[in-house]
Structure 1
Amino acid sequence: MLFFITLLVPVGVVSCVAGSLALADPLVVRVGVYENPPKVFTDDNGDVQGLFPDVIEYVATEEGWELEYVAGNWTQCLERLSSNEIDVMVDVAISEERVEEYSFSNESMFLSWGVVYSQPESAVESIPELDGMRMAVMSESIHTIGEGGILSLIEEFQLNVTVVEFDDYTQVFESLDSGDVDVGVVNRIFGGMYEDEYDVVRTPIIFNPTDLRYATPKNSTIGPYLIERIDSHLTELKRDSDSIYYQSLHTHMPYLFEAESEIPGWLMPALLTSFGVLALIVSMNLLLRHKVKVRTAELQDAYE
C-alpha cells in the first residue's frame, strides 16, 4: 500500500501542473547547458547544439514550451540545478549519489563510459601502469569521482598518480596533446569524436559504464511534469528509426554508425548497452584480480 501511495504523488503533481499550464502562457523552461561536444555544445554562431538539445527542443515544440538556455561549466550547472536556478539540465549521468540530490528522467538517452588516453609514445595498457603518471581529468565528472570513477580505481590499486583537474574534456585533450600530462580521462563519446584532432592515443583502459539522462531539481514544482513529458516523447522517438533522436545521432556522432552501416538504427542502443555491461565486467575483473594479488602478497609476507 505504501508503494501505491508513493506512485500517486508524482502523478497528482503532474496532472495539476499540466492542467494549470493549459490555461497559462507558454511555459518557460530554463535549461542548463555546458560544453561537452557532441552531446551538448555551443557552435560558432552561439547556438546550442547536440543530441540532448535536439531532443529537448523537439519536446518543447510539441508541448508548446519556450526554452531558455543557461550556459555555464559542468560544476556551475550542477550548482544551479541544486539551487533550483534551472528547471532541467542536459547530459547528466545517473548514480546513487546523484539520485539523492536530483530527480532524473526514467528514459535513458545514451550509454557512455570512461576511456583513458595517453601520449603516442606511451604504451599504457592497464590501470596499474598509470602509477607515477600525471593524469588530466574533468572536475566533478562521473568518470572522475564516485564509486566507479578513476579516482576510486587509483585508490583501489594503491597508485601514486598526480591528478590535474580541468573544466571540460577539451582542456583534458589539450593538456595531453601539449605534453603537460601523461594520460587523460574523457568519456568515450568525446574521445571517439575528437581523438583524431589531437596527438593522443586511446588505450585499452575503459571503465565506469554510465547512463545519461535529463535531470531536474529535487524541489522543483514543475520537475515531475517535465520528466513525464520528456519520458513520453523520448520513448516514442527511440521507437522510430527516422526520428530526431536518430537523426541527431547520425549528425553529431556519425562514427557510431560507420562500422555498423548494415545494422538497423533501432538495434544500436541495445548494442551500446551490451558493450557497457561488458566494460563493467572487464573493469570489475581487473579490480578483483588486483585485490587477489595484493592479498596473496600480504599472506606471503606474513609467513616469511
Structure 2
Amino acid sequence: MSKYYIILFLLIHTSIIGQSQNLQTVDEFLGYELGSRFTFHHQVVDYFEYVAENSDKVQVQEYGKTSEGRSLIVAFISSAKNMAKLESYQIANLSAANGYAKPELEQLPIVWLSYNIHGDEAAATEAALATLNDLAGDDEKINAWLDEVIVVIDPCENPDGRDRYVMWINQVLNIPSNPDVDALEHHQPWPGGRFSHYLFDLNRDWAWQTQSESQQRLKLYKQWMPHVHVDFHEMSYQSSYFFAPAAEPLHENITEWQREFQVHIGQNNAEKFDKEGWFYFTKETYDLLYPSYGDTWPLLMVQSDLRMNKVVREQQGFR
C-alpha cells in the first residue's frame, strides 16, 4: 500500500512544480493585453495573489486597508532559497540599520518599488504588474539576479484614487485613443484620481503620516528599512521621462554619498535610454528640499531613494 502513497505524492509534487513553472502571463490572467486598458485594483490584487500561490519566488502580504476598504499589499520577490529564509534577511538588515550588525547573519540588498501614489498616474500600477510578471518568470538572467537581491513591490499606494480614475477613464476612453489634447479622455472631472478618499495628496504625507494609508505603509517600511527605494510616477503628455539626480535645492541632511549614488544610478539609466533613443531629463523641476515626498523621506531615513517618472503613450493616447 505504501508504494501507492509514494506514487500519489510524486504526482501531486510534480503537479505543483508544473504549476509554478507554467504561470499564466499577466495578459492571460487579465484577459487583455496589458496597457490596452487600465486595470482595477481588485484585479491587481488577484494577480499578485495568484502568482504568490503558484510561485516559490513570491510572497504577498496585506499590510492594511484604505479608507474605502481596498487592500494595501506588497509582494516580496527573490530566489526560492532566499524566500525560504526571508525573515532571517529581515532581521539581519534591521540589525545593521540599527547599528548592531550581526556577522553571523547573511545580508542581501533590499530594493523597494513604490507605484501609483497619485491615483491618476495610473500607468505606474500597470508597470508594477509587468514587473511582477517578469520577475516571477523563468528568465535565467533574472533568476540569477534574484539570487542576489530581495525586491519588494507595492503595486498601488493609493487604490481609492486609482479606482476613481480607472472607472472614469475606462468609460470615456476612445478605441483607438484620441491624441487630441482637448479630447474628453485627457480631462478628468473634479476631484480626479490624484488624491486619496479624503482628497489628500499622499505624496505630501510621508513625514507627517496624517493619513491611514501612510501610517500603515510606513509601519511596514520601517520593519524592513530597504537599501534602495524607487518612487514611480507618471509624466504628462507634455513631458519626457524624469529620473535622478534631482534638482536643487536638496535637503541639508541628504549626504554627499547619497548625492553621488543618485548620479551613479542616473548615469546608468541614461545609458539605457540613449541606447533606446528615449528622451529624458534630470536635475530639473523635481527637488529634494521638502522632507515629505516619496523620494525625500526615504533618503532622510538613511536609505538611497530614486524617483522615476513614466511618460505614457499607450492605448489612452497622450496623457
User: TM-score normalised to the size of structure 2?
Assistant: 0.25
Instruction: Say which structure is richer in helix.
Output: 1
Instruction: Say which structure is richer in strand.
Output: 1
User: TM-score normalised to the size of structure 1?
Assistant: 0.26
